[in-house]
Chains A and B, each alone.
Chain A
Amino acid sequence: MHISEGILSLPILAGGGVTAVIGTAIGLKRIDNDHIMETALLSSAFFVASLIHIPLGPGSVHLVLNGLVGILLGWASVPAIATALFLQALLFGFGGLTVLGVNIVIMAAPAVAVSFLFGSMVRKPGKSQLLGAFLAGLGAILLSTLLLALALVGTDSSFLTTAKLLLVAQLPLMLLEGLITLFVVSFLAKVQPDLLQLTITSKS
C-alpha cells in the first residue's frame, strides 16, 4: 500500500500533502481528551500491523487494519494513521517523506469513509454489527486500492493495466481484513462495548 519515493508527479504529491494536512487538522480537533490514549493505542496497532506478512497462496499479503481504526476512531483515525505512517517512513523507510501525504490519503480517507458508511451498523448489537465490521474491513482495503490505483494512473497512464491487476491482487487481503475486523469487533462487543461508541462520544 505504501507508494515509494520518486514515482508520483509533483501535483499529486502536493494534492496529497494538502489533503492529508486538512484531514489531520480535522481529526486532531475531533479527538476527545478522554480518548487520546485509545487513539494512540490504535495508532500503535496500525504501525505494527503493517509489518506483518500472512502467507497466502504463492505469495503473501500484509495487514493494514485501516478499516478497524476507521470504525473505532472516525475522523481521529487520520492523525492516528498519519503519525504511524510518518514513523514507518522515518524508522523503516516505508514509503517516504515526500510521498507521505499521498500515503496518508490512501490509507486514512477510506478509514473515515467506512466509519460513515458502516459506523451505525457496527454500533448496533446483533448480526448487523458483525456484517458492518466485515464490510468496513473489506471496504477500507477496496477504497485504499482504488485510491492507490488512481494515484498511479494519474501519474502515468501506462499504470492503468497494472492498477487493474492491483485490484485483483488485493482481493485476498480485502477478505482477510474483513474477517479480522469482524473478530476484533465481536471481541470488543463482549469485553468493552463502549469502545465501539468512541466515534459518537468524540463528536459530542
Chain B
Amino acid sequence: MNTRLSPLLTMSFFLSLLFLFISALPSQAHRLRVFAYSSGREIVVTASFGHNRPAEKSKVTATSNSGTLLFQGRTDIRGQLRFPRPKLAQDDKLVITVNGGPGHQGSWILTPEDLGTRHPLVSQEIKQPRPLKSDNSVKSTLASEEQQALSQLVSDAVAREIEPLKVMMVRHMDTGPSLQNIIGGIGWLIGLGGLLAAWKNRKKK
C-alpha cells in the first residue's frame, strides 16, 4: 500500500505547523512559574502560568533549607503574595514553593546573597558599629540605635526605589517558550526520525 505523503498534504502539514507555533508563541500552559525576591522587610512571591495568567489563590509555603515551615499563605488575584521576611540563619536559604492546583507546582530558592543576609558591607555595618570618640556608654547605645534606624530607613527607601526594577525583571523572565526552542524541538524530532530510519535500514541490509 502506498502511504507516501502527497505534496499537497505535506505543504498543508507544514503550513499548519507554522500556524501552530506562531499561535503558540505567546502562551505557556503547563509550567507554573514562580519568582520570589526580597524587598526591604518583605518577601515578594509571584506565580503565573505564563503571560498574563496569574496563579490565583495558590498555596505558598516558605521553608528553610532544612525544611522547617516558616510561612504559609495564598496568592492574591494577581498571583502575588507579600509576607514579612522570616528570621533565618546567616547561611540558610529560603525555599518558596507554590502549589497551583492538581499537578502544578513550582519553587524558587532565595540564597543568602539574594536575601542580603551574607552581604559583607551590610553585616559589617550592623555588627560592628563605628567606635565613637566619646566613652559615654549611653551616648554610644543611642548612636548605635540611631545608626540601625538610619540603616533600616535607607534599606526601606532603596527597596521602594528598586521594587519597580525587580517587577520589570520578573515580567521579563516570565516569557513562554522561545521561537528557537520550538523550531529546535521540531528539528530534533524530524532528525531523530531520520536517525531511526537510517538505523532500521542498516539493520535490514
Q: Interface size (A, Cβ < 8 Å)?
A: 56
> CB distance A51 to B177 under 8 Å?
yes
Inside 8 A of A198's CB, which chain B residues have their CB?
3
Question: What CA separation (Å) do A87 and B177 show in the bound complex?
Answer: 12
The interface residues of chain B, by DSSP majority, are classed as helix
Question: What CA separation (Å) do A40 and B190 show in the bound complex?
Answer: 5
Inside 8 A of A3's CB, which chain B residues have their CB?
103
Closest chain-B Cβ to A164's Cβ sits at a distance in Å of: 10
Q: Does B5 contact A (CB under 8 A)?
A: yes
**Contact digits for B1-38, partner A, Cβ 8 Å, 1 yes 0 no:** 11101101100110011001101100111111000000
Q: Does A19 contact B (CB under 8 A)?
A: no
Set B3, B101, B103, B194: member contacting A35, Cβ < 8 A: B3
Residue among A1, A33, A88, A92 with the most chain B CB within 10 A? A92
User: Which chain B residue shows the least CB distance to A8?
Assistant: B103
Q: Does A6 contact B (CB under 8 A)?
A: yes
Q: Does B104 contact A (CB under 8 A)?
A: yes
Question: What CA separation (Å) do A163 and B23 show in the bound complex?
Answer: 29
> CB distance B177 to A92 under 8 Å?
yes
Known: A44-B190, A192-B9. A162 touches B1 (CB 8 A): no
Interface residues of B in 161-187 (CB under 8 A from A): 176-177, 181-182, 184-186
6 nearest A-B pairs in the assembled complex, by CB-CB distance: A40-B193, A51-B24, A62-B29, A53-B27, A3-B103, A2-B30
The chain B residues found within 8 Å of chain A, CB to CB, are 1-3, 5-6, 8-9, 12-13, 16-17, 20-21, 23-24, 27-32, 53, 97, 101-107, 176-177, 181-182, 184-186, 188-190, 192-194, 196-197, 200-201, 204
Can you name 23 A-B residue pairings with CB atoms under 8 Å?
A6-B105, A33-B201, A33-B204, A37-B190, A41-B193, A43-B189, A44-B185, A44-B189, A44-B190, A45-B17, A49-B20, A51-B21, A51-B24, A51-B182, A52-B23, A52-B24, A62-B29, A91-B184, A92-B176, A152-B102, A152-B103, A194-B1, A194-B3
